[in-house]
Amino acid sequence: MNRTYQAIVVGAGPAGSSAALTMARAGLDVALVERGTFPGEKNMFGGVLHRLPSLEEVFPDFWERAPLERHIVKKSVTFMTGDSSFNTIIEAGSFDRPPYNGYTIFRPRFDRWLAEEAVKAGATLITRATVDDLVWKNDRVAGVSILDRGEISAPVVVAADGVLSFIAKKAGLRQPTFDPGQMAVGVKALIDMPRELIDERFGLVRDQGFANEFVGCTGGVRGGGFLYTNYDSVSVGLVFHLASLKTSNKTPYDLLNEFLEQPQVAKMVRGGRLLEYSAHVIPEGGYDMIPELVGDGILVAGDAAALCNATGLNLEGINLASQSGVLAGKAVVAAHGLGDLSRKGLEVYQRLMNDSYVMKDLKLYRKAPHMLHNDRIYNEYPELMTSFMEYIYRIEGAPKENLTKLFLKSAKEKVGLGNLMADAFSAWRSL
């Protein structure tokens, strides 16, 4: 160890590798430090990578080059209650043509590829290296220390060390403790399934993929479910708000098992074989949770900066991480050009971020995390939805009721009309 670089990036995830790639392409001597035996070994997410404009700029043939699974052409939202469910599906022709709107991927393959691209551009990848502290010089960050392996130096460090970012904490940029109300945990089962079976079961051809999100499937805990198709496996999982899970006395794996046994889900995974089980925390606090992004000799990007957009309809993270990494990289390049890597010199990162869709979207959906802290979304509404649809389609030989009247009646019983209006208003204001 004990080398000096022009920049150090902690964490070879989508944010870190995007930052390292950007800096290396601009000619900087950059170290990309990763605690796994290879980049991606520690990384977990639901399964759908949204379109990455940041990387399409770097790789115009991104979807030819990156190790992607299927592109998503069909998206479905399912409202679930007990043994009933109500589905909405959108399948769009434009989703089936490049630039594709989203793909399923495996993180151990994708993250590894992206880090290798950074290495090809000239970055030095240091794996099996857990950074445990920052090195300071004259009140400025001057490097990092690696557990059992000594120190490396650089006038600037990009903290892309994930959601718990101990680096941002040590730099005094993030809050010292986390609020469970701003955090979620995702658990996932990867299930092996032959490609032909997936194509047939989900109505797909070629490399087409299907993404299904679920509400009302988390045993009363605030959260949701997902099912995504890879080439020859499906990713099925649940996400829980931690404040809600904390008081529920339920466990993530029991709820995942219940979800997999729900009759409609059970049919989708039938015949599959479990390949891998994984879990990770997600920063879901939105705009209000974002730490300070810039310090003296340090920038924060990706999950470490809580850049995650959970609106209830979409859950975006990797695209925001990668974009922030690219912008952090550009800011470091500019600051090096000016020879000023102080907070003032690096401030350009904040400006680039404010002008990008990352901060604009997070600001726009600033109220969404609060709206999603409404238990009715996870219990009463899915129930209202499925029971109403069930009534519409059921033939019983008795005269039907007026549907508007009936809807209002069951809404009154299940939710309360005041709540219904308040929730509609809050959803309208948030989204």
Partner 1 sequence: MNIDEIFDFTSFTIDREPHIVLDPQVCVSCDNRSCTNCCPARCYTWSGEEQKMTFVHDGCLECGTCYVVCHKNAFTRWRYPRGGFGVAYRMT
Which residues in this chain contact partner 1 in the complex, by CB under 8 A?
35-37, 40-44, 106-109, 127-130, 132, 146-149, 163-164, 166, 177-178, 180, 183, 185, 187-190, 233, 235, 242, 245-254, 256-257, 260-261, 274-281
Residue pair 272/193 in contact by the 8 Å Cβ criterion: yes
Q: Which is nearer to partner 1, 16 or 155 (CB)?
A: 16
To partner 1, the closest distance from the beta carbon of 195 in angstroms equals 15
Rounded Cα distance, 346 and 330, in Å = 10
Those residues with Cβ within 8 angstroms of residue 25's Cβ, 6 or more apart along the chain or in another chain: 58, 121, 122
Q: Which is nearer to partner 1, 280 or 336 (CB)?
A: 280
Q: Is the dihedral of CA 297, 344, 363, 371 positive or negative?
A: positive
To partner 1, the closest distance from the beta carbon of 430 in angstroms equals 24
Assign 7 to helix, strand or coil: strand
Q: Which is nearer to partner 1, 1 or 403 (CB)?
A: 1
To partner 1, the closest distance from the beta carbon of 197 in angstroms equals 17
The count of C-alpha atoms lying within 13 angstroms of the C-alpha of 172, restricted to the half-sphere facing its C-beta, is 7
- Strand stretches in 230-338, DSSP E: 233-241, 273-283, 294-295, 298-300, 309-310, 315-316
Q: Which is nearer to partner 1, 269 or 353 (CB)?
A: 269
Cβ burial, residue 64 (10 Å; 0-12/13-18/19+): exposed
Q: Which is nearer to partner 1, 275 or 421 (CB)?
A: 275
Structure tokens at 213: 């999100």
Neighbours of 246 (CB within 10 A): 13
To partner 1, the closest distance from the beta carbon of 424 in angstroms equals 31
Sheet strands side by side (includes 150-153): 131-137, 140-146, 150-153
To partner 1, the closest distance from the beta carbon of 347 in angstroms equals 30
- Rounded to 5 degrees, φ, ψ at 360 are -65, -45
To partner 1, the closest distance from the beta carbon of 96 in angstroms equals 25
Q: Is the dihedral of CA 4, 7, 50, 320 positive or negative?
A: positive
To partner 1, the closest distance from the beta carbon of 226 in angstroms equals 13
To partner 1, the closest distance from the beta carbon of 409 in angstroms equals 38
Q: Which is nearer to partner 1, 310 or 415 (CB)?
A: 310
Q: Which is nearer to partner 1, 88 or 251 (CB)?
A: 251
Q: Which is nearer to partner 1, 260 or 353 (CB)?
A: 260
Could you tell me which of 265, 264, 242 has the C-alpha nearest to residue 252?
242
